[in-house]
Structure 1
Amino acid sequence: MTGSAVVIPAPPAALALSDLQAHLLDAFFAGRNARTVAAYRRDLEDWRTFAGAADMDAAARAILAVSHGQANAWALAYKAAMIERGLQPATVNRRLAALRSLVKLGNTLGLVSWRLEVENVPSAAYRDTRGPGRDGVRTLFELAAQPGGSKALRDVAVLRLLHDVALRRGEVVGLDLAHYDPRRGTVAILGKGRTERQLVTLPPAARAAVEAWIAARGSVAGPLFTNQDRARKGSGRLTDSAVYRLVRDLGKKAGIKARPHGLRHSAITDALDRTNGNIRAVRKFSRHKDFNVLVVYDDNRTDLAGDIARLVSE
């Protein structure tokens, strides 16, 4: 057998322990999308404040510089302090998860031989997964369209994406004009926890709303949804907080409690109703990774406990 020999490249030089520690946060944030990085930064900043460190890098090094038992004791004290501050269980658990993930990376890189074992606090996730309901959503659409003009077109398109295809507000504001395919009527969204965009096909009403907004917006490249603040000349990307205020304020006008994720809740609940609880099919629609989340939606939708109680009482 003839041919040139295969050359195996030498492995990269190992970083010194001090270099790994110095660049731990860089490695932790690498490969994550901007929204995820921003969320982790907020959570780790809270840990920095509790730890009394000068910056987040120092706070990250501090948790890895103590023994396994000391680290767990420190994390338990942090957990107790957050509970005493009155933080919601979801917030406490998210911040503990960020700290655990950081220590897990330190373990992977050989900085420590252990991982944090502090457990989450019990929480009742998705207590209300029904949202404003069909009538409430219909009212929001009508109120958003009433003022007329380009802002109304934009707002209706945003509401359609939040409800009709159950997008998260971060997925909506992260869209650029280039992510909409007018030939196929699809948007390429960057889903929660994903690094690649996935195509979502728009139903006719949502597609018509998006195209009406694009006709008013123009074909200039950039964010699909822009602010309509005259002072900023409509050039900036619509923000998460602006979408939250939009839905909240429309809800106040309608006399109902409304928020962006509530529209997603309504859509998923409606999808379960219309498919007679077909969790597998609705999972494709909602893009949930965990079937158990949809089981909670389905339980809340059907009120099984209430049905059994009525049977017992009869």
Structure 2
Amino acid sequence: MFTLSEQSWIDLFFTYLRLEKNSSTHTTNNYLRDILDFQQFMKGHKIRGFAAVTTQDVRNYLTKLFEKEYARKTVSRKISALRSFYRFHLREERVSENVFQSVVMPKKGERLPNFLYEEEMQELFDAFVDNKPLDQRDRAILELLYATGMRVSECSQLNVHDIDLMIGTVLVIGKGRKERYTPLGAFACDALEKYIEDGRVKIHTKANQVNDALFLNYRGGRLTDRSIRTIVLKRMEKVSNQKKLRPHDIRHSFATHMLNNGADLRIVQELLGHEHLSSTQIYTHVTKDRLRDVYKHTHPRA
């Protein structure tokens, strides 16, 4: 009987993720890391292939993760990846059961999303003093992320024709290849127009061929989501004293500021591209300054 190699199991799963699930590069890379981590565990415990894994092996793996003091969110992600991996191979009848199906996921903490205050966002934009092509590009990226709340991975996939400056919208391809049109504010439109008509033209001259990507690297190729994260993080660190900032915090800031200024929760859900309202509800927290301001203006004896 022909037996697939462990690498073939992995390759088939990732073909499924790309072609059937339309998973993003970011998602597939995370899945790959988690599956390779489990594969190393298998080798260390002399487990002969994915089909030979037992529920006791799974318990041993969980024990190892907790001994390494991984965050609960990280453990949940790893288990979720492996559950999906085995679910696929169960469907293809390579295993008789999903050994990760009955694993109880650790409860996630109630940590609220980190965000920048409106004044910090203004400082972020005020910090741009040069008008060089790459500065124009970086400002356009930040204005676009803050104006729309889109993910960095979505931003990296944009092409020039996805931007409509006449009516002020951008076509975003979200998770699962779902499309949504998102409005652009005046500041974002101005920054994008300047970059597209000036900075991008100059950067594109360095490319070896025509490139439709909206955001280009200094050689004229498409900026990857990793490069955009690096660019945004460097800009954020220059103006904020907060620790552990992430580019994704721009998205958190967008949602928080919209809700704090009276936006409807379902509108914000649609703008963010959330499938479930529960994903958006985490942003209904308000800052201490907002609470203090509301109290001061509404309580009769404040």
SS for the counterpart of 2:211 is coil
Aligned to 1:83: 66
- Give runs of aligned pairs for residues 171-210 of structure 1, distance below 5 A: 171-191=154-174, 193-210=175-192
Aligned to 1:279: 265
C-alpha distance 17-176 of structure 1, shift in aligned 2 (>3 A): farther
RMSD: 3.3
C-alpha distance 282-107 of structure 1, shift in aligned 2 (>3 A): same
SS for the counterpart of 1:194 is helix
Deviation at 1:199, TM superposition (A): 2.8
Aligned to 1:109: 92
Deviation at 1:75, TM superposition (A): 1.9
Cα deviation per residue 1:205-241 (whole Å; 9 max; x = unaligned)? 212211211112127433211223xxxxx32322333
Deviation at 1:204, TM superposition (A): 2.2
CA contact (8 A) 2:6 2:50 kept: no
Which sections of structure 2, spanning at least 5 residues, go unmatched? Answer: 205-209
Out of 61, 69, 73, the position equivalent to 2:56 is 73
Aligned to 2:248: 261
Aligned to 1:37: 28
SS for the counterpart of 2:176 is coil
Q: Which amino acid aligns with 1:195?
A: R
Q: Work out whether 1:52 is the aligned partner of 2:36.
A: no
Cα deviation per residue 1:144-165 (whole Å; 9 max; x = unaligned)? x212211111111111122110
Matched residues in 2 for 1:295 and 1:124: separation?
15
CA contact (8 A) 2:133 2:195 kept: yes
Q: Which has the larger radius of gyration?
A: 1
Q: Higher mean Cα deviation, 239-248 or 18-27? A: 18-27
Aligned to 2:275: 289
CA contact (8 A) 2:147 2:185 kept: yes
Q: Which amino acid aligns with 1:265?
A: H
Aligned to 1:244: 229
How many residues were matched structurally? Answer: 277
Out of 137, 140, 150, the position equivalent to 2:121 is 137
Deviation at 1:48, TM superposition (A): 1.4
Deviation at 1:178, TM superposition (A): 3.5
The share of aligned pairs that are identical, in percent, is 26
Q: Which amino acid aligns with 2:50?
A: I
Aligned to 1:118: 103
Q: Work out whether 1:98 is the aligned partner of 2:81.
A: yes
SS for the counterpart of 2:250 is helix
Aligned to 1:28: 13
Cα deviation per residue 1:270-314 (whole Å; 9 max; x = unaligned)? 1111226x32222112211222222222135589x999xxx9xxx
Matched residues in 2 for 1:21 and 1:108: separation?
17
Which sections of structure 1, spanning at least 5 residues, go unmatched? Answer: 1-15, 229-233
Out of 138, 141, 148, the position equivalent to 2:131 is 148
Deviation at 1:20, TM superposition (A): 11
Aligned to 1:227: 217
Aligned to 2:112: 128
Aligned to 2:207: none
Matched residues in 2 for 1:279 and 1:50: separation?
43
SS for the counterpart of 2:181 is strand
SS for the counterpart of 2:221 is coil
Matched residues in 2 for 1:50 and 1:289: separation?
34
Q: Which amino acid aligns with 1:296?
A: I
